[in-house]
Every structure is written in structure tokens, then in C-alpha cells.
Chain A
């Protein structure tokens, strides 16, 4: 996530490179790429004379139609509420679980293998289980999102606590901290960057899964919009519109969580300048 290319060589005491051009490039270049892709898409639709695949303009009109009908806002809201519910549940249960597993190595030995067994199972494979447990309901969708985000959070919190440098623990004990104080003043802040990384990964997965969850279990939301537009009249303009919206909201969520990583008290863990 902090993958940086080697970049041009700079002596260690050279002044930092100009930030401003970077900021402009960071916005201008992706926008340019998007414009080129939309142009290619438009050209491809035109040249192939396809009747099924919508042009960019048709997708934009489709979005307008959804907005006029008043469902766009509702669908976005419903999807976000589901993700928030499942994700927050995973956060509230996952962070303490992970921290406990990181701290009590005995518990980790007993429970970690089970977690590692469950973790690679795609949340999609849980769909039948979710339906058996909750029926075709909103709860089934939330359960899937919870499952998908729970494991990355647990594993990140566990590794975060395990990897707290012993020097910090020694220093904390040396200053006479009680066990609860050692936890809140040393272990938790030292593990926080890894926990935040886990939260960011989990949010991405949660947003991925909401679409699948809504395809089976509910009749609102952006995932529902994709499948419903396809089934009810092959409205591929609306399918693509929903897909783009899903992508944009996912991007926004990621940027939002990314901002937390720039807070000064955790920035040390992300080697950003």
C-alpha cells in the first residue's frame, strides 16, 4: 500500500522535491486516463454497432433516470447502511478478539488455526449458510459483510499486538505501568498502525461483498440494482451505471480511511513523510 517506486536519486540533504506539481499531477493524470478510457469506450460502442452494450452517454442518461425516479439516493444509502452495520459489528468484535489473540499466545495457539481455516473461504460461499440462518433478509446481507470484514480485522489486530517491539514493553514496565496502563498506553498505540491497515483492507472487502449480498438477499441497494436492471428488461445502461457508482463509492471510502493514516500519532507506522 505504500509501494513507492525507487524514484530519481536525491542526496540525503537535498531539499524536498516540489510538492505542488505532484498534487496537480496526482489529480490531472488519473482524470486524463479516465477521459481517454471513456473516449475509447465510446468509440468501441460506435464502431461495433452493438445494440446491447451502452455508450457512456446512455449510462449517464441512465443515472439521470434513476436520480429522477428517486431510487438512486435510496439505493446508495441502503448499501452504505448495510456495509456500516456489518463492518462496525466486525470492528467492535474483531479488534478485541484480535488483540486478545495477540496478547495471549495460548489462546492464539488454540484459535488461530480455526481462523486461518475460515479466512480463505470466500464470503460468497457463506451465502447458503447466511440464508439458512437468517432467511432472505437484510440480516443475511449484513451477516455476510460482517464475516468478510471480521477476519482481516482480527488478523491485523493480532499481528499488531504480536509485533509490538519488546523494547516498548520493557520501557512501559520500567516506568511502573500496571497491566491495563501498559495496554492502553503502549500496546494499543504501538499496534494501531497495523490495526488501521486491517480496517482499511476490511472496508474494501466489505464493500466488495455488499454487492454480492444484495444480489441474493434484498431488494434495494446498488448490488440489487445491478442484478435487477439485468433481469428486468436487460437495462445494461443501468448495470454499468451501478457498477461505476460502486467503484466511485469504494474509491471514496478508501480515500476517507486513508486520511486516518496521515494523523500524526499513527503516521510513523506507514512511512509516509
Chain B
């Protein structure tokens, strides 16, 4: 296994089937994908297409049925603090304060360094003044910021985001997207972002990986070669978005 320059995450011939009550349910079929270092890739697909399963396998939470995931050339077999999985905002620990959550993964650091790191990420996600608040005292968007900050605080190379803004209202979701882009540009992480929202994928991604319905396989990989910040009414953006809509087989008239 030789690491290929520039490739961070390599998915090769990956398939996954679940067995329930003697039935085999094929969820993912023959996925091949290379994600470059520092790239933001959106995995887009309809509900139940296996995109979350794909992210869980890449994250080391589920074994693949066949095929392999390598990161920096080493195969993935279990979760690793160098790659953090971000759930919807329900993943924050409700028994810890904002500070406690953000510092969760860095308990091994000397106290001063830990405090400085927490303060840095509190600032980065804009939660100054809420350091000692508990999650139940925060809005959904703020909880999601806590979870992103908790992930970033351990300084991972890769972030996996599983429909992270799915439970937020549409205004907060837009704000969170631009916040994510700002953080991504500041921290230069590789990001794999699972979503079923076409607009979201076009707004965020360097590349959009369009999955088919179950069993999920890659239908197409769309390069979104638009610089950030993106003009959401530019003809180029709209053309890209419409091509993905068509790929998924949706007429863009309701």
C-alpha cells in the first residue's frame, strides 16, 4: 500500500450488505472514490441510499462487506481521534457545559494549554459568553457549533459530517453553511459531508458525489469549480445545480 500524493481518503471497491431475518439487503455497491487532502466533498443522495452507512464505514464505525478504505495509505478498521465524526446537534453531551464539550477530546493536555485551545474554538465558532452554558440552554444552531468545535479541538485531519444541519431551520442552516466554509478555510481540514440537500451540496462542495437509490452506487461526480463565496444566482451555479437535479431525475418545476 503506497500513499498516493495528495489523496487523503481512498475508497476502493467498497460494498456493504446487511443481513436481517435471513434477507440480504445490499446497501452500497462498488464505491470507488478518492478524496484529496483539504478537499470538501459532499456525498449526495436520497434518503435510505446508504450515504450515512458509507460515512460510518469510512469513519471506522462499521466494517465493509468488501472493499477497503485507506487514509494516508493505512486501512481503516476502527474510529480514530485523527478523524472526527460530527452528528446532528444531538451528539453534544448534555451533561457537559459548552467548555466541557469542546474540551472533551483534549483531556490529556496540560490545563493551561487545554483552556487556551477551548477558548480558541469557542471564539472560532462564535460562542463567547456561553462557555458555562449547558446544551439544553442553547439553540439547535449553537449546539451544532459546539459539536463542530468539539471535533476541531482535537485537531483532526478529516471531519465527517452526517447531515449536520438537517435538523436546523432554513435560516440557521444557511448561516451554518457559511460558518462551516469560513472554518474550513481557516483550518484546512479534509471534509466529507453527507447530505440529501442538492443546494447544500452545490453551495459547499469542491466536488459532489451523487449516489443512486439503494443499493447506493456512484452515479456521477460533479466538479463544482466555483470560488467561494459563491454567487447563488450566477448562471454557472444554477447550471451546475440543475445538472445535478437532472442527474437525480427530478424535473426542476413543481
Give the B-binding residues of A (Cβ under 8 A): 165, 167-168, 170-171, 173-176, 185-186, 189-190, 192, 264-269
Provide 28 A-B residue pairs closer than 8 Å at the C-beta atoms, listed in order of the A residue: A165-B90, A167-B87, A167-B90, A170-B61, A170-B79, A170-B87, A171-B85, A171-B87, A171-B93, A173-B61, A173-B79, A174-B80, A175-B81, A175-B84, A175-B104, A175-B105, A175-B154, A176-B80, A176-B81, A189-B95, A189-B96, A190-B95, A265-B96, A265-B134, A267-B134, A267-B136, A268-B95, A268-B134
- Whether B94 contacts A268 by the Cβ 8 Å rule is yes
In whole angstroms, what is the CA distance A264 to B137 when docked?
10
- At the interface, yes or no: B59 with Cβ under 8 Å from chain A? yes
Please tell me which one of the listed residues B61, B87, B95, B154 contacts residue A265 in the complex, with CB atoms under 8 A apart. B95
Task: Flag if A264 contacts B87 (CB, 8 Å).
Answer: no
Interchain Cβ contacts within 8 Å, total number:
56
- Bits for B103-116, please: 1 = Cβ < 8 Å to A, else 0: 01100000000000
**B91 CB–A CB distance under 8 Å:** yes
Residues of B within 8 A of A176 (CB): 79-81, 105
Q: In whole Å, how far is A194's beta carbon from the nearest beta carbon of chain B?
A: 13
Query: When chains A and B are docked, how far (Å) is the Cα of A64 from the Cα of B154?
Result: 66
Given contacts A174-B83, A267-B136, 15 further A-B contacts (CB under 8 A): A170-B79, A171-B87, A171-B91, A174-B59, A175-B81, A175-B84, A175-B154, A176-B79, A176-B80, A176-B105, A186-B93, A190-B95, A265-B95, A266-B95, A268-B136
User: Chain B contact residues: over half helix, strand or loop, or mixed?
Assistant: loop
CB distance from A182 to the nearest CB of B (A): 11
Interface members, chain B 112-139 (any A CB < 8 Å) = 134-136
Shortest Cβ distance from residue B179 to the other chain A in the assembled complex, whole angstroms: 21
Contact A264 B90 (CB under 8 A): no
Q: Which of A167, A175, A264, A265 has the most CB of B within 10 A?
A: A175
Top 10 nearest A-B pairs (CB, nearest first) are A268-B94, A175-B105, A176-B81, A189-B95, A174-B79, A268-B136, A173-B79, A265-B95, A167-B91, A167-B87
C-alpha spacing A167/B91, complex, angstroms: 6
Contact in complex: A174, B84 (CB < 8 Å): yes
User: CB-nearest residue of chain A relative to B95?
Assistant: A189
Beta-carbon nearest neighbor of A166 in chain B: B61
Chain B residues with Cβ under 8 A from A264's Cβ?
134
Q: How far is the CB of B97 from chain A (nearest CB, A)?
A: 8
* Given A170-B61, A264-B134, A189:B93 Cβ within 8 A: yes
The interface residues of chain B lying within 8 Å CB-to-CB of A186 are 93
Q: Which residues of B from 31 to 84 have beta carbons under 8 Å from A?
A: 59, 61, 78-81, 83-84
A143: shortest Cβ distance to chain B, in Å?
Answer: 35
Contacts of B84 in A (CB 8 A): 174-175
Alpha-carbon distance A97/B45, docked complex (angstroms): 45
Q: Which residues of the partner chain B approach A190 to less than 8 Å between Cβ atoms? A: 93, 95
In the complex, chain A residues whose CB is within 8 Å of the CB of B83: 174
**Alpha-carbon distance A169/B59, docked complex (angstroms):** 14
What separation, in Å, do the CA atoms of A176 and B151 have in the docked complex? 12
Q: What distance in Å separates the Cβ of A265 from its nearest Cβ neighbour in chain B?
A: 5
Q: Which residue of A lies closest to B94 (CB)?
A: A268
User: Nearest residue in B to A170 (C-beta to C-beta)?
Assistant: B61
Compute how far the CA of A186 lies from the CA of B100 in the bound complex, rounded to whole angstroms: 12
List residues of B (127-157) whose CB comes within 8 Å of A's CBs: 134-136, 154
In angstroms, how far is the closest chain A Cβ from the Cβ of B115?
18
Q: Which residues of B contact A192 (CB under 8 A)?
A: 95
Q: Give CA–CA (A190, B91) in the complex, Å.
A: 12
CB distance from B121 to the nearest CB of A (A): 14
Q: How far is the CA of A175 from the CA of B104 in the complex (A)?
A: 8
Which of B91, B134, B154 has a CB less than 8 Å from the CB of A168? B91
Closest beta carbon of chain B to A42's beta carbon, Å? 47
Most central of A165, A170, A174, A190 by chain B CB within 10 Å: A174
Give chain B residues whose Cβ lies under 8 Å from the Cβ of A189: 93, 95-96
Contacts of B85 in A (CB 8 A): 170-171, 174
The chain A residue sitting closest to B160, CB to CB, is A174
Once bound together, how far apart are the Cα atoms of A192 and B96, in whole Å?
A: 13
Distance (Å) between the CB of A266 and the closest chain B CB?
A: 7
Min CB gap A141→B, angstroms: 37
Contact in complex: B135, A268 (CB < 8 Å):
yes
In the complex, A176 Cα to B154 Cα: how many Å?
A: 11
Looking at the assembled complex, report how far the CB atom of B191 sits from the nearest CB atom of chain A, in whole angstroms: 15
A269–B94 CA distance with the chains assembled, in angstroms: 8
